[in-house]
């Protein structure tokens, strides 16, 4: 059964697959440990893809799932994109697969993007400039963007501070400068047909993110990686008004649970008509899903407090 927004309470557009079926992790152990400590996640074990599907099905939530391919910068192989796609194919009622391709792969990465979309049903692509150590507007990444734009698929870019490397000496070598959302303004201008999602409240560049999303028609924002109670007032104001059709729910699971995010979001002064847009309708439209015209009743336990949330994002 394909994912049906009308049967779901919400669509989480930001979920990480951090461990493969074989136990392979997408990040080195010290970075996994540091991010867990930063987000007050006591349990260092990360859920497998089938466990993620079961978790979201229990809550009647859909989820966009991806790994992060930063092998050139970190030396750590990612969870295979094919495995993410296979898990989504086995759980189509709750999972939508995105892929991650290191821009350092050059034109080979562009060929990989086309292959993953055509042969594995990948529905979008994830970039983490700080972990992948590249400027989003570096022309070396443009062949990959060209392939994504030709496919008509969205690209998610991490923006702002990251919990990965936080507290490790030298931040584990991860540099925050790559994740200024203003760098993505160039990408949006050069690829107007490629939908873009700026992931996370973009501390310390929140105003820049709002400006880019307001100015560039195809740029959206996901609200993952922060508990909503920490959202800057200006972000809440824009989400409630000028950007109400371009802002989407994302948790950052497993570091921030959807239970915690949804419970805290319930306390924000969001207009009733805007709330369902953020939780489901905007994502359904961007992802090309069936219209989410009828909100499903809240799932039992959906408002329960879950894992920790901090002011910054992984």
Q: Are 54 and 7 spatial neighbours (Cβ–Cβ below 8 Å)?
A: no
Q: What pLDDT is recorded for position 290?
A: 62
Q: pLDDT truncated to tens, each residue of the chain (314 aa)?
A: 789 999 999 999 999 998 888 777 766 666 666 666 666 665 556 899 999 999 999 999 999 999 999 999 988 899 999 999 999 999 999 999 999 999 999 999 999 999 999 999 999 999 999 999 999 999 999 999 999 999 999 999 999 999 887 878 888 889 999 999 999 999 999 999 999 999 999 999 999 999 999 999 999 999 999 999 999 999 999 999 999 999 999 999 999 999 999 999 999 999 989 999 999 999 999 999 966 444 333 333 333 333 333 334 44
Q: Report the CATH number of the 5-286 domain.
A: 3.20.20.140
Q: What's the whole-model pTM score? A: 0.89
- Enter the tokens of residue 93: 């009622």
Helix (H, G, I), strand (E, B) or coil at 16: strand
- Enter the tokens of residue 251: 């948790």
Distances (CA, A) of 43 to 29, 90, 211, 276, 314: 13, 27, 38, 32, 16
Q: What pLDDT is recorded for position 293?
A: 47
Domain chopping of the chain, boundaries = 5-286
- Residues 6 or more apart whose Cβ sits within 8 Å of residue 53: 87, 90, 91, 94, 95
- Rounded CA separation 38/34 (Å): 6
Residue 18 half-sphere exposure toward CB, CA atoms < 13 A: 21
């Amino acid at each position: 059964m394909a994912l049906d927004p009308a049967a779901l309470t919400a669509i989480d557009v930001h979920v990480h697959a951090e461990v493969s079926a074989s136990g392979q992790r997408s990040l080195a152990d010290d970075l996994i440990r540091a991010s867990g400590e930063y987000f007050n996640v006591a349990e260092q074990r990360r859920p497998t893809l089938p466990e993620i599907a079961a978790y979201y099905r229990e809550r009647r939530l859909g989820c966009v799932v991806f790994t992060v391919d930063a092998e050139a910068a970190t030396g750590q192989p990612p969870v295979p994109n094919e495995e993410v796609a296979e898990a989504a194919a086995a759980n189509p009622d709750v999972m939508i697969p995105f892929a991650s391709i290191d821009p350092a792969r050059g034109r080979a990465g562009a060929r990989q993007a086309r292959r993953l979309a055509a042969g594995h049903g990948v529905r979008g692509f994830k970039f983490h400039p700080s972990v992948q150590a590249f400027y989003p507007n570096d022309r070396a990444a443009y062949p990959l963007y060209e392939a994504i734009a030709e496919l008509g698929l969205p690209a998610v870019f991490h923006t702002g501070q990251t919990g990965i490397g936080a507290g490790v000496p030298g931040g584990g070598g991860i540099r925050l400068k790559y994740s200024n959302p203003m760098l993505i303004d160039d990408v949006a201008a050069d690829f107007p047909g490629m939908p873009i999602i700026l992931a996370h409240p973009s501390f310390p560049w929140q105003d820049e993110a709002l400006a880019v999303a307001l100015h560039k028609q195809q740029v959206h924002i996901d609200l993952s990686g922060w508990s909503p109670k920490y959202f800057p007032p200006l972000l809440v104001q824009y989400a409630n008004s000028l950007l109400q059709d371009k802002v989407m729910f994302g948790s950052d699971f497993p570091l921030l649970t959807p239970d915690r995010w949804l419970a805290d979001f319930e306390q924000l002064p969001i207009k009733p008509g805007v709330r369902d847009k953020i939780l489901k309708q905007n994502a359904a439209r961007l992802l090309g899903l069936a219209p989410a015209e009828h909100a499903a009743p809240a799932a039992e336990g959906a408002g329960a407090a879950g894992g920790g949330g901090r002011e910054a994002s992984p």
